[in-house]
Amino acid sequence: MPGLILNIKPGERFLVNGVVLENGPKRAQIRVETEGASILRLSDALHPDDVNTPVKRVYYIAQLILTGDSDEAEAKELLIKSIKDLQNVFRDTAKAPLEKALNAAEIGRYYSVLCSLKHVFPLEEKLLNLRLPQSELEAEKQSEVA
């Protein structure tokens, strides 16, 4: 049985080729037989105001391709370059999910890109919340003054 199987929660909203659909009060299962249909659970979508970190920016590029809100050819090139940039930053710490994201982007599986990048969000948050020890902050300030 080919196609994508969607298991949908009660009341869950999702986007199919630019159309927002909402499930009724019971769980449902839908099989999408059309290859290349753009499908995004709205629970997985980032609001533009929430795109405030490097990984979220890359995620958002994939989201825009998936929703049809950007030119796929141009955005795909930017997406691949951006994932490679993230690989240079995260190196070994997020190697597996970023490799999966890159492979998915190269073959046009943008929802898989989103799923892979979601695994990097907690690591990015942890890194962004790291604080330099006070002695390093003081040394940094002194070198800026000099």
- DSSP conformation letters of 67-89: HT-S-HHHHHHHHHHHHHHHHHH
Nearest to 25, CA basis, from 12, 11, 6: 11
In this structure, the answer to whether residues 30 and 68 fall within a common structural domain is: no
User: What confidence category does residue 6 fall into, taking pLDDT thresholds of 50, 70 and 90?
Assistant: confident
Give residue-wise pLDDT tens across range 34-82. Answer: 887 888 999 999 999 999 999 999 999 999 999 888 999 999 999 999 9
- Determine, yes or no, domain membership for 144: no
- 102 within a domain of the structure (yes/no): yes
59 shares a domain with 121:
yes
Domain presence at residue 113: yes
Let me know whether 68 and 111 are in one domain.
yes
**CB-side neighbour CA atoms (13 Å) of 96:** 2
What is the pLDDT averaged over residues 109-137?
A: 84
Query: 95 and 122 share a domain?
Result: yes
Give the bridge partners for 7, in sequence order: 29
**Parent domain of 7:** 1-45
